[in-house]
């Protein structure tokens, strides 16, 4: 049995006992109070200070610990099931990575020179790269998904929104939990939480989880026959130490580590283009055609064995001090990641594109933030100000072969980048009356970015790197290092202004106007000199109106938002022809307008809880340039996303039974359009789909719970992600997870 020793070790570590999940709490931003059945509140930090969710004039989806566990949302990529207008995918089959989009803005690459449009934060610490960004939600207090530009308080690269993951902090009680689970595809998981008070002022908390499952698809690739693809083998550990240094000062030290080892993903052919058919026809003497391999859900044949190894770790220190009239908070953090892989990009027996073993990337980042916040003018003015510093360095090495039967062509992305950002910000909220507030905030930020590129295009005779600047040599024939790499500087002034009015303690309306930016950068993947370009920042201006409302003694919650965005200088990665070469480029390819509505509704009556979420996005280009033409669909933005759910609670003599079912759906999604000369024009589109999920939980007293769960119970075929390989003559897809089910037992002490 796969990883048998690992399982025995983990099972022994967890004492072979009992385990699983607490009773199913009721959806999204609410849980049910045991005594009254009313919808309870959750506290969030959307304004960088703690507030009730219903008091925050921002579109936020907030999930507490019980919701996360019972909805089986165990990592960042699962958030889109319950968050309107959110789309999350891994990058190239790397399960520890995540690309997050909200309300349109999305990222198509993971390299250090291209930033994400949605900020990801771990307890307030910004995580810049997709590598290691699919954060584990084990032993997490809550997750907050803020939609719309958040640049004033959270900084650049939050034009789509921000996601903040808040772990459970050490407490002054000796407590913890043990859990084990098993499911189909040979799935196994085990978790351990130990919280130990050291003194009255200090406590330590350790959280560990192991997750694995066999592959959802098999490989018949030479050298990889029998490989199980789309498998999982992950270990995650977090350690925290809390010290109440004095009555006015608190210190929280944290460290986390993630290790992923798997066989990669099963990419398949979604569409065959002219160049791809020509290639297969030529090398097979017209006995086969790429068209014969168009089946997104077929078994993965492949041309080589695959693997993926990824590691990410970080440390942080948060110091909070009460200065009397104000509170000072310092957040210091360091993070590091590395990845190595070999992959087949299309799953046919022909070598269109495959990365050579040893491909990968690594990087590290340091950040320091100081916040000062308080209340003035007899409690009528809440304010926050601060400074921020960020520095990261990253390296990329991606050698890959294409069309080896023709010439054994090798392309190499070899380069590095360094990014430095500095910012100053301030925001204030003034109470005009006890019920009417106005808010204004602004941020100044400056980025300095440098890049060293030593890319190589083996398709050219006597090929040389696309630039002469490098401090690493691929072969002895390449030019010497030049120590003055290209540099670029950008400045930003994101801001927000808004107002909110409370009719009573349960009904608030708000309106705001915000501007955000996504940093400019460099196209590090260029294999033609004309494509090694710097691109400018994106800008998004957003108008949002909304309501936060509870009715019928807080038995019905209706949170609504409507938005209108002007999105300019959009960064688009596309395949182009530069001279005799096919290469990729990133350009500011146009402007767009995006508008829509979002709704999150929860109703509690008796033993039932019903709810629904819905997000719509009407997006179209208002100006297009090189990568698009008039009429092209706007990419990465489904017209609608949503979910419906129902919970039923049954009291018993031994405890409680909770039943849950939900249906999550997403509309048709365009993943881009290719118009490169010499290539067949095509639009990359994934069909609409929906999945049904269910959970049954049995609680025995307060300590033991048994849970049975199932995902995609109708075994729906769907494509959550599509890749543009038109330069190689095809479009590839990454099939979604099949039906999975299992059981989990948990013991809490």
More confident position, 164 or 578: 164
Please give the mean pLDDT across all residues of the chain: 85
pLDDT of residue 518: 95
φ and ψ at residue 428, rounded to 5 degrees: -140, 150
Q: Model's pTM, two decimal places?
A: 0.90
Q: Do residues 86 and 100 touch, judged by C-beta distance below 8 A?
A: yes
Q: What is the mean pLDDT of residues 14-18?
A: 36
CA distance 497 to 514: 7
Q: Do residues 470 and 505 touch, judged by C-beta distance below 8 A?
A: no
pLDDT of residue 461: 41
φ and ψ at residue 291, rounded to 5 degrees: -55, -30
Structure-token match 């992950």, residue found = 234
- Report percent pLDDT > 90 for the chain: 58
pLDDT in tens, 297-308: 877 777 778 899
Q: What is the mean pLDDT of residues 106-127?
A: 91
pLDDT-wise least confident of 100-114, 229-243, 591-605: 100-114
Displacement of CA 587 from its chain's centroid (Å): 23
pLDDT of residue 296: 82
pLDDT in tens, 36-83: 678 888 899 999 989 999 999 999 999 999 888 878 888 888 889 999
pLDDT of residue 467: 45
CA distance 173 to 195: 7
pLDDT of residue 405: 65
pLDDT of residue 354: 77
Which bin fits 446, alpha (ψ -120 to 50), beta or left (φ > 0)? beta
Please name which of 681, 666, 674, 675 lies closest in space to residue 721, comparing C-alpha atoms: 666
What's domain 4-748's superfamily in CATH? Answer: TonB-dependent receptor, beta-barrel domain (2.40.170.20)
**Taking 60 as the threshold, does the pLDDT of residue 23 lie above it?**
no
Structure-token match 């340091």, residue found = 366
Q: What is the mean pLDDT of residues 422-448?
A: 97
Distance from the first to the final alpha carbon of the chain: 32
CA distance 564 to 598: 12
- Determine what percent of the chain falls in helix, strand and coil, rounding each to the nearest 5: 5, 55, 35
Please write down the HEC assignment for all residues of 710-721.
Answer: EECCCCCCCCCE
pLDDT in tens, 225-235: 678 999 999 99
**Taking 80 as the threshold, does the pLDDT of residue 123 lie above it?**
yes
pLDDT of residue 304: 78
CA distance 552 to 554: 5
pLDDT of residue 451: 84
For 416, what's the count of Cα atoms within 13 Å in the CB-facing half-sphere?
A: 15
CB-based contacts of 188: which residues, under 8 Å, 6+ apart? 3, 7, 10, 181, 182, 210, 211, 212, 213
pLDDT of residue 12: 40
Please name which of 591, 558, 588, 563 lies closest in space to residue 573, comparing C-alpha atoms: 588
**Taking 70 as the threshold, does the pLDDT of residue 684 lie above it?**
yes
Q: How confident is the model at residue 577 (pLDDT cuts 50, 70, 90)?
A: low
CA distance 632 to 624: 9
Q: How confident is the model at residue 579 (pLDDT cuts 50, 70, 90)?
A: low
Q: Torsion angle of alpha carbons 501, 597, 82, 711, nearest 10°?
A: 160
Q: Do residues 252 and 242 touch, judged by C-beta distance below 8 A?
A: yes
CB-based contacts of 301: which residues, under 8 Å, 6+ apart? 219, 220, 221, 293, 347, 348, 349
Q: What is the mean pLDDT of residues 376-395?
A: 96
pLDDT of residue 17: 32
Q: Are strands 359-376 and 381-402 parallel, antiparallel or unpaired?
A: antiparallel
pLDDT in tens, 273-293: 887 888 888 888 888 888 888
pLDDT in tens, 335-374: 999 999 888 878 888 877 778 777 888 999 999 999 999 9
Q: What is the mean pLDDT of residues 640-666?
A: 95
C-alpha distances (whole Å) from 503 to each of 404, 507, 513, 547, 549 are 69, 6, 22, 11, 10
CA distance 212 to 693: 20
pLDDT-wise least confident of 153-167, 352-366, 457-471: 457-471
- Residues written for the chain: 749
pLDDT of residue 430: 98
For 206, what's the count of Cα atoms within 13 Å in the CB-facing half-sphere?
A: 5
Q: What is the mean pLDDT of residues 457-474?
A: 45
CA distance 192 to 238: 11
Q: How confident is the model at residue 92 (pLDDT cuts 50, 70, 90)?
A: low
Q: What is the mean pLDDT of residues 193-219?
A: 95
pLDDT in tens, 233-251: 999 999 999 999 999 999 9
pLDDT of residue 572: 83
More confident position, 624 or 86: 86
CB-based contacts of 598: which residues, under 8 Å, 6+ apart? 59, 84, 85, 147, 560, 561, 562, 563, 613, 614, 615, 616
pLDDT of residue 459: 56
Per DSSP, the residues of 142-208 read EEEEEES--HHHH-SS-SSEEEEEEEPPP-SS-EEEEEEEEETTTEEEEEEEEEEE-SSSEEEEEEE
Determine which helix (DSSP H) or strand (DSSP E) holds 334, and give its type and residue range. Answer: strand 326-342
The winner for highest mean pLDDT among 92-101, 247-256, 398-407, 471-480 is: 247-256
pLDDT of residue 587: 85
**Taking 60 as the threshold, does the pLDDT of residue 162 lie above it?**
yes
pLDDT-wise least confident of 213-222, 381-390, 550-559, 700-709: 213-222
Displacement of CA 120 from its chain's centroid (Å): 7
pLDDT-wise least confident of 256-265, 369-378, 480-489, 587-596: 480-489
Q: What is the mean pLDDT of residues 474-490?
A: 52
pLDDT-wise least confident of 181-190, 515-524, 609-618: 515-524
pLDDT-wise least confident of 121-125, 189-193, 627-631: 627-631
pLDDT of residue 739: 97
Q: Torsion angle of alpha carbons 116, 121, 124, 128, nearest 10°?
A: -40
Cα-trace Rg, the chain: 26
Residue 378 token pair: 């007899």
**Taking 50 as the threshold, does the pLDDT of residue 472 lie above it?**
no
CA distance 289 to 24: 51
More confident position, 470 or 519: 519
**Taking 70 as the threshold, does the pLDDT of residue 3 lie above it?**
no
CA distance 629 to 675: 8
More confident position, 329 or 75: 329
């Amino acid at each position: 049995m796969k990883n048998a020793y690992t399982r025995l070790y983990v099972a022994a570590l967890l004492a072979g006992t009992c385990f699983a999940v607490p009773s199913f709490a009721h959806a999204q931003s609410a849980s049910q109070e045991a005594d009254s059945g009313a919808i309870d509140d959750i506290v969030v930090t959307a304004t960088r200070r703690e507030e009730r969710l219903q008091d925050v004039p921002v579109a936020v989806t907030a999930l507490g610990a019980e919701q996360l566990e019972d909805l089986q949302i165990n990592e960042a990529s699962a958030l889109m099931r319950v968050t309107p207008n959110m789309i999350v995918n891994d990058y190239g089959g790397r399960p520890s990575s995540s690309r997050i989009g909200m309300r349109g803005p999305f990222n198509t690459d993971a390299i250090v020179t291209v930033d994400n449009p949605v900020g990801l934060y771990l307890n307030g610490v910004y995580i810049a790269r997709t590598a290691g960004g699919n954060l584990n939600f084990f032993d997490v207090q809550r997750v907050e998904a803020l939609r719309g530009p958040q640049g004033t308080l959270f900084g650049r690269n939050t034009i789509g929104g921000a996601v903040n993951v808040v772990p459970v902090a050490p407490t002054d009680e000796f407590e913890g939990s043990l859990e084990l689970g098993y499911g189909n595809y040979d799935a196994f998981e085990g978790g351990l939480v130990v919280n130990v008070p050291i003194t009255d002022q200090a406590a330590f908390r350790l959280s560990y989880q192991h997750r694995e499952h066999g592959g959802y698809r098999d490989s018949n690739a030479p050298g990889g026959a029998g490989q199980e693809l789309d498998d999982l083998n992950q270990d995650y550990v977090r350690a925290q130490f809390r010290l109440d240094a004095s009555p006015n000062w608190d210190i929280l030290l944290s460290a986390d580590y993630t290790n992923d080892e798997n066989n990669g993903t099963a990419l398949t052919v979604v569409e065959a283009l002219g160049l791809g058919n020509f290639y297969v026809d030529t090398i097979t003497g017209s006995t086969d055609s790429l068209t014969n391999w168009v089946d997104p859900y077929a078994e993965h044949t492949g041309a080589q064995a695959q693997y993926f190894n990824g590691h990410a770790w970080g440390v942080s220190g948060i110091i909070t001090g009460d200065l009397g009239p104000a509170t000072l908070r310092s957040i210091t953090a360091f993070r590091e990641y590395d990845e190595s892989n070999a992959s087949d990009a299309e799953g046919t027996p022909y070598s269109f594109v495959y990365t050579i073993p040893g491909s990968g990337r690594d990087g590290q980042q340091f950040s320091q933030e100081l916040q000062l916040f308080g209340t003035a003018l007899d409690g009528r003015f809440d304010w926050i100000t601060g400074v921020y510093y960020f520095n990261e360095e990253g390296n990329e090495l991606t050698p890959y072969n294409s069309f080896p039967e023709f010439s054994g062509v090798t392309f190499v992305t070899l380069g590095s980048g360094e990014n430095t950002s500095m910012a100053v910000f301030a925001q204030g909220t003034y109470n005009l009356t006890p019920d009417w507030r106005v808010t204004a905030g602004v941020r100044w930020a400056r980025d300095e970015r440098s890049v060293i590129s030593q890319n190589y295009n083996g398709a050219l005779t006597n090929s040389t790197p696309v630039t002469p600047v490098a401090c690493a040599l691929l072969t002895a024939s390449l030019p010497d290092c030049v120590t003055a790499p290209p540099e670029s500087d950008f400045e930003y002034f994101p801001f927000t202004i808004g107002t909110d009015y409370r009719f009573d303690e349960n009904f608030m309306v708000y309106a705001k106007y915000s501007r955000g930016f996504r940093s400019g950068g460099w196209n590090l993947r260029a294999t033609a000199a004309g494509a090694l370009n710097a691109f400018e920042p994106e800008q998004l201006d957003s108008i949002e109106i909304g309501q936060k409302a509870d009715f019928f003694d807080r038995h019905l919650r209706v949170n609504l938002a409507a938005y209108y965005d002007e999105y300019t200088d959009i960064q688009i990665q596309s395949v182009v022809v530069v001279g005799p070469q096919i290469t990729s480029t990133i350009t500011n390819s146009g402007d767009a307008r995006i508008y829509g509505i979002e709704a999150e509704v929860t109703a509690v009556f008796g033993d039932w809880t019903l709810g629904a979420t819905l997000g719509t996005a009407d997006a179209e280009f208002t100006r297009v340039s090189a990568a698009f033409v008039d009429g092209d669909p706007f990419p990465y933005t489904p017209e609608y996303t949503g979910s419906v759910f129902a919970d039923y609670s049954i009291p018993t003599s031994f405890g409680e039974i909770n039943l849950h079912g939900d249906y999550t759906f997403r509309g048709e999604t365009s993943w881009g359009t290719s118009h490169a000369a010499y290539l067949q024009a095509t639009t990359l589109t994934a069909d609409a789909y929906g999945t049904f999920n269910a959970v049954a939980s049995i609680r025995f007293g307060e300590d033991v719970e048994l849970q049975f769960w199932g995902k995609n119970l109708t075994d729906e075929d769907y494509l959550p992600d599509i890749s543009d390989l038109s330069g190689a003559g095809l479009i590839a897809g990454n099939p979604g997870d099949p039906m999975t089910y299992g059981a989990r037992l948990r013991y809490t002490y």
